Amino acid sequence: MHASRSRLIGAALSLLLAATLAGCSTAESRALAQPAGAPGRVPATSGDHRGAAADAGLTDDDGYIPEGSSLPLDSDKPAVTRLSPNLLSALRHAQAAMKQDGDGTDITIADGWRSERYQEHLFAEAVRQYGSEDEAEKWVKRGADSAHVRGDAVDIADAGAMDFLNRFGDEWGLCQVYANEAWHFELRTTPGGGCPAQSPDGRG
Ligand SMILES: [Zn+2]
């Protein structure tokens, strides 16, 4: 089931070995051993547009997660508990596989389920940020159009987990949907079926 991952790891090890034999410095070797998936929190992105949410009276009950924090998959907050059971289950299976691979990173959620009120707030903020509704719609969907409002999308907080899901998420049906949102995942394929082509811009 994890053959594709094993192949990738094998390829990475071969690269590392080749680099070492070629006399690369230790620092370069370490860089090769830790590609894009190096752990660490992702700074707030322009797509996250959460700035004044607290001022708008948004709370846990809206799925609001303060900027700079994130929730684990077993959180009892609505942002996690109101996700669709299938999505949550897929994420938990992916996390178990990550741990089995010896990756200490947890999958944590920077954004999960959101209330319609929260989504409308995000849209209004995006209009302010991008100057027009047309431009804002490249980044944020309105109200119930958002997969987040339906509980069908998560924004992953950790770069290591993001990288893992980008490479192997389809084993559990998890796909990056938008080319400009490396953090946004939805169930978009049958497990192992390969992800569909990404849309050029995110409207998560
Ligand atoms: Zn998203």
| pLDDT tens digits along 170-198 | 999 999 999 989 999 999 999 989 999 99
How far does the centroid of ligand 1 lie from the alpha carbon of residue 17, in Å?
38
Parse the chain into domains and list their residue ranges. Answer: 36-187
How far does the centroid of ligand 1 lie from the alpha carbon of residue 121, in Å?
15
Residue 53 has a pLDDT of 60
How far does the centroid of ligand 1 lie from the alpha carbon of residue 144, in Å?
14
pLDDT band at 203 (very low <50, low <70, confident <90, very high): low
The span from the CA of 198 to the CA of 68, in Å, is 27
How far does the centroid of ligand 1 lie from the alpha carbon of residue 184, in Å?
4
How far does the centroid of ligand 1 lie from the alpha carbon of residue 15, in Å?
34
pLDDT band at 35 (very low <50, low <70, confident <90, very high): very low
How far does the centroid of ligand 1 lie from the alpha carbon of residue 178, in Å?
9
Residue 56 has a pLDDT of 78
Is the pLDDT higher at 76 or at 145? 76
pLDDT tens profile 39-68:
333 333 434 445 566 667 899 999 999 989
Burial readout 30-65 (b: 16 or more C-beta within 10 A, e: otherwise): eebeeeebeeeebeebebbbbeebeebebeeebbbb
Helix, strand counts (H, E) of the chain:
8, 5
Fill in the amino acid letter for 111: D
Residue 145 has a pLDDT of 86
How far does the centroid of ligand 1 lie from the alpha carbon of residue 124, in Å?
16
pLDDT tens profile 92-113:
999 999 988 876 678 999 999 9
pLDDT tens profile 105-150:
789 999 999 999 999 999 999 999 999 999 888 788 888 889 999 9
Average pLDDT over residues 154-162: 95
Residue 202 has a pLDDT of 62
Q: Which residues, 6 or more positions from 110, have their beta carbon under 8 angstroms from its beta carbon?
A: 42, 48, 65, 70, 155, 156, 157, 183
In the numeric block, the tokens 């051993």 are attached to 33
How far does the centroid of ligand 1 lie from the alpha carbon of residue 37, in Å?
19
How far does the centroid of ligand 1 lie from the alpha carbon of residue 171, in Å?
20
How far does the centroid of ligand 1 lie from the alpha carbon of residue 80, in Å?
13
How far does the centroid of ligand 1 lie from the alpha carbon of residue 89, in Å?
18
How far does the centroid of ligand 1 lie from the alpha carbon of residue 111, in Å?
7
The whole-angstrom distance between residue 1's C-alpha and the CA centroid of its chain comes to: 22
Long-range contacts of 189-192 (CB under 8 A, 24+ apart): 191/90, 192/1
Class of the 36-187 domain?
alpha beta
